[in-house]
Structure 1
Amino acid sequence: MQIYVRDNNVEKAIRTLKKKMQREGLYREMKARKAYEKPSEKRARQKNEAIRRRRKAERKMLQREGLLPRKGGRR
């Protein structure tokens, strides 16, 4: 991952770096690696993540079909 500093604007480069790291999921991974996760906790977390992804996909599908209003008030 590379971030270029333009016009000596280091603050903007740092903000850009943080956004990229957030999008890539690096903060989440660092937090997960900080401490040991028991196998039972790992399975429970993965199950909850799968449920969340499935609900999101269903919600998106219903929004595309017009059965649910879109988030943000788009028309």
Structure 2
Amino acid sequence: MRVEVRDNNVDQALRVLKKKLQREGVYREMKLRKHFEKPSEKRAREHAAAISRARKADRKRAERDK
């Protein structure tokens, strides 16, 4: 990942970098890798996330159909 510093404005470049890292999911991955997660816990977490994504998609679809 690359961020250019313009006019010696390091603060703005840092903000852009943080935004890019967050969009890529680096912070989430760092948090998950901080501690070991059992495979069964990982499956349960991913399953719960899939269910919530499906419910959100259903809500959006129902709202669009109104």
1:7-18 equivalent positions in 2, closer than 5 A: 7-18=7-18
Deviations 1:2-33 (A, max 9, x none): 11111111001101111111111000001111
Does structure 1 residue 61 correspond to structure 2 residue 53? no
Aligned pairs, how many?
66
TM-score (norm. length: structure 2): 0.90
User: Could you tell me which amino acid in structure 1 is paired with residue 46 of structure 2?
Assistant: Q
Partner of residue 70, structure 1: none
Q: CA RMSD in A?
A: 1.0
Q: 2:46 & 2:15 partners in 1: Cα distance? A: 30
Q: Which structure is richer in relative contact order (CA contacts within 8 A, separation 6 or more)?
A: 2
Q: 2:52 & 2:2 partners in 1: Cα distance? A: 32
Does structure 1 residue 43 correspond to structure 2 residue 40? no
Q: 1:3 & 1:63 partners in 2: Cα distance? A: 39
Q: List runs of 5+ in structure 2 lacking aligned partners.
A: none
